[in-house]
Amino acid sequence: MKIILTGTGTSHGVPVIGCRCKVCTSKDPRDNRNRSAAYVESPSKIIIDTGPEFRIQAIKYGISAADAVLITHSHADHMNGLDDLRIFSHTKSVDPGMKKNTNETEGEGLPIYANSGTLHDIRKRFDYIFKPVTEGGGKPKLHLIDSARFTSKNPLFIGEVRVIPVPILHGTLDDNGWLLSEKNPDTGWKSIAYLTDCSCIPQSSIDLIHENAGNLVHLVIDGLRPEPHSTHFSFDQALEAAEKISAKHTWLIHMTHLLLHTEVQKYINDHIENFPGLKKIIAQGGTVQPSYDGLKLEI
């Protein structure tokens, strides 16, 4: 299984509109951060979040197929590119009246997995998708599925990828992280935990990861900035949570334009002494780093 981080920035993205700070004008490509999103290949194709730059990200990183979409929550920077899924949903599953060639098949549509609050917002914000039309007005054909039905005892399988929703809090908003796992017949389960946009990870969710991840190779976790924020982890809070979760490799995501990529890494290095569990992981060959657009993680 491979996951490509197609975006690693906060809701403004980086560069920020109208900003001429050192990060927004940086020539280091790692400082150019689209809105946070990811793409999983295993060989199943799974999209995680469809923000405003989804079309650009899909073209840039060669996303040419999708078997399912996982939506973390309904904020604009994670969902407002939903309409661009039509290219995938129409070749996967279309209305009988829209069928025009043998590559198109009838069915329910492209599966979209999210919690009930997010599904409600999709129906409200993209209401035109679910209204019948006689002709024209191209729109995606989506099959909305409540992720609450999937648990560690009843996980979702997308091809060979096992997906377990991980409940997290984004301020007061119920959010979904995702534990993505693949089983090797010789070594057992290997996993990636994708936990963006969170200000609290309940102990029950940390326990869920520990009990089901097997070998947790990568943790992608919200780390907005050095200072506290009401709805996001600060760097220190992200490192504290990462210490409890204990992946081999930890990657901060959803970063602002306050610090250069190299400065975020320096912050981590300067503060790692405060997190002996992470320091031990690093001594054993692990890493704790800021992520960047285009980063490929494999298990």
Structure-block tokens of residue 217: 């190779």
- The predicted structure's pLDDT at residue 205: 98
Q: Which residue has 């204990």 as its token pair?
A: 246
Distance CA 169, CA 4 (A): 24
CB-based contacts of 80: which residues, under 8 Å, 6+ apart?
Answer: 50, 51, 52
- The pLDDT of residue 133 is 72
Both tokens of 199, joined, read: 């200000």
pTM of the model as a whole = 0.94
Rounded distance between C-alpha atoms, residue 100 and residue 135, angstroms: 13
Within the chain, where are the H helices?
Answer: 54-60, 76-79, 86-92, 116-125, 203-212, 235-245, 261-271, 276-283
- Helix, strand, coil percentages, rounded to 5, for the chain: 30, 30, 40
From the CA atom positions of the chain, what is the Rg in Å?
Answer: 19
The pLDDT assigned to 134 comes to 55
Residues (pLDDT < 70) of the chain are: 91-106, 134-137
